[in-house]
């Protein structure tokens, strides 16, 4: 098919891509609004997704494996070999209606919300979705369970003082209510490859949600390398799932759970200190490790830098920073 004109379809509009032309050049020539900068595969600002076919291998150069699996590719590097249906990152999302089946507290300020669907909801453990209220108010939350469990999504939602969405979920929504849920997004999830590789999981607060899904998925798929989960908060009352994670560590010799507290009161069996500092002090070399970081943006950004300096490859560092939306 090389050297043949192909069709590019975006939201039911069709554009032609000339022989030898990149997807980016074709879309710019057709006046499609697509972000780009370097035009040589370095900046990744022109990343789009193929909705129907595998992109050419060259168009995925430098992307994380989780992005490749979702058929993301760089428009500036893609010389298509066949017709393609393309999704731009800013296209409006498709929402599915789900029903609340569990609504209970995990600790003093974290809600366990489970939403069930009539049809299969495809996702990877560790991704996030947007939840939307009837009035259009929308917030992003990470998925805490794995697809193998049931046709449900589990969320751990912290109450934010004055947070319109979190307070609504905590105070008003009840079992039986319906809520709109977007398609899953994000590339912070486990892939069953290099199963002997070390996995380092570090999270603060409800950053445990995606990490719990990633951990369950890795264990279920027989990951044989060492897995370390560091979960931190200031106070003991803000941690949760402690007993379940300790039980999991007893069942799996390669899994190690380290709960961390940065406040003054640290009960026996817990490590004193900020979770990122405790985690970094535990390793001298992270070469060939896969790293997952979830929670407070400052911690995530600092850890991305520090784990890279300790030898982890940027391709193997997956991050999900929890930004708080202004009220």
Of 52, 56, 1, 51, the residue nearest 23 (C-alpha): 56
Residue 204 CA, chain-centre distance (Å), reads: 15
The yes-or-no verdict on residue 34 having pLDDT over 90 is: no
Half-sphere exposure of 266 (CA within 13 A, CB side): 16
Which has more pLDDT, 91 or 261? 261
The yes-or-no verdict on residue 244 having pLDDT over 60 is: yes
| Residue 27 burial (10 A CB sphere; 0-12, 13-18, 19+) | buried
What mean pLDDT do residues 77-89 have?
93
Could you report the per-residue pLDDT of 125-168, keeping only the tens digit for each? Answer: 999 998 999 888 888 899 999 987 679 999 999 999 888 999 99
Of 63, 67, 207, 188, the residue nearest 125 (C-alpha): 188
Q: Which pLDDT belongs to residue 1? A: 42
Confidence of residue 229 (pLDDT cuts 50, 70, 90): very high
What mean pLDDT do residues 279-305 have?
96
> Whole-angstrom Cα distance, residue 83 to residue 319?
33
CA distance readout (Å), 215 to 112, 145, 202, 229: 18, 10, 11, 8
> Whole-angstrom Cα distance, residue 282 to residue 285?
9
What mean pLDDT do residues 269-298 have?
96
> Whole-angstrom Cα distance, residue 48 to residue 91?
11
> Whole-angstrom Cα distance, residue 236 to residue 244?
16
Q: Which pLDDT belongs to residue 92? A: 57
Place of tokens 């050049």: 25
Confidence of residue 38 (pLDDT cuts 50, 70, 90): confident
Domains and CATH numbers, the chain: 6-87 (3.10.20.30), 95-182 (2.40.30.10), 199-321 (3.40.50.80)
Q: Which pLDDT belongs to residue 246? A: 98
The yes-or-no verdict on residue 257 having pLDDT over 90 is: yes
Q: Which pLDDT belongs to residue 168? A: 95
Residues contacting residue 227 through CB under 8 Å, at least 6 positions apart? 198, 199, 201, 215, 218, 219, 252, 254, 255, 256
CA geometry: angle at 70 spanning 69 and 73, to 5°? 95
Confidence of residue 82 (pLDDT cuts 50, 70, 90): very high
The yes-or-no verdict on residue 2 having pLDDT over 60 is: no
The yes-or-no verdict on residue 3 having pLDDT over 50 is: yes
DSSP one-letter code for 58:
G
Considering the entire predicted model, what is its pTM? 0.80
> Whole-angstrom Cα distance, residue 178 to residue 131?
11
Judged by DSSP in three states, 188 sits in coil
């Amino acid at each position: 098919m090389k050297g043949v004109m192909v069709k590019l379809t975006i939201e039911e509009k069709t554009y032609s891509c000339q022989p030898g032309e990149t997807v980016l050049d074709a879309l710019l020539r057709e006046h499609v609004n697509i972000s780009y900068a370097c035009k040589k595969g370095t900046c990744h600002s022109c990343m789009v997704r193929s909705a129907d076919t595998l992109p050419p291998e060259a168009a995925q150069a430098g992307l994380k494996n989780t992005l490749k699996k979702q058929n993301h590719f760089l428009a500036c590097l893609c010389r298509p070999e066949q017709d393609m249906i393309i999704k731009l990152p800013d296209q409006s999302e498709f929402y599915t209606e789900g029903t609340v089946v569990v609504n209970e507290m995990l600790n003093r300020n974290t809600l366990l919300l489970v939403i069930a669907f009539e049809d299969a909801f495809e996702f990877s453990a560790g991704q996030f979705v947007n939840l939307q209220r009837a009035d259009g108010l929308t917030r992003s939350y990470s998925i805490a369970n794995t697809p193998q469990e049931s046709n449900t999504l589990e969320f751990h939602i912290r109450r934010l003082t004055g947070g319109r969405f979190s307070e609504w979920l905590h105070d008003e929504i009840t079992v039986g209510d319906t809520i709109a849920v977007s398609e899953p997004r994000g590339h912070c999830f486990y892939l069953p490859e290099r199963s002997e590789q070390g996995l380092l999981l570090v999270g603060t607060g409800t950053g445990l949600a995606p990490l719990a899904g990633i951990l369950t998925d890795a264990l279920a798929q027989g990951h044989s390398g060492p897995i370390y989960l560091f979960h931190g908060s200031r106070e003991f009352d803000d941690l949760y799932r402690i007993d379940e994670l300790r039980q999991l560590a007893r069942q799996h010799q390669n899994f190690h759970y380290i709960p961390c507290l940065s406040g003054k009161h640290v009960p026996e069996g817990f490590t004193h200190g900020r979770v990122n500092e405790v985690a970094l002090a535990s390793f001298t070399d992270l070469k060939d490790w896969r790293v997952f970081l979830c929670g407070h943006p400052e911690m995530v950004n600092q850890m991305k830098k520090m784990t890279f300096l300790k030898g982890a490859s940027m391709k193997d560092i997956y991050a999900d920073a929890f930004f708080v939306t202004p009220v």
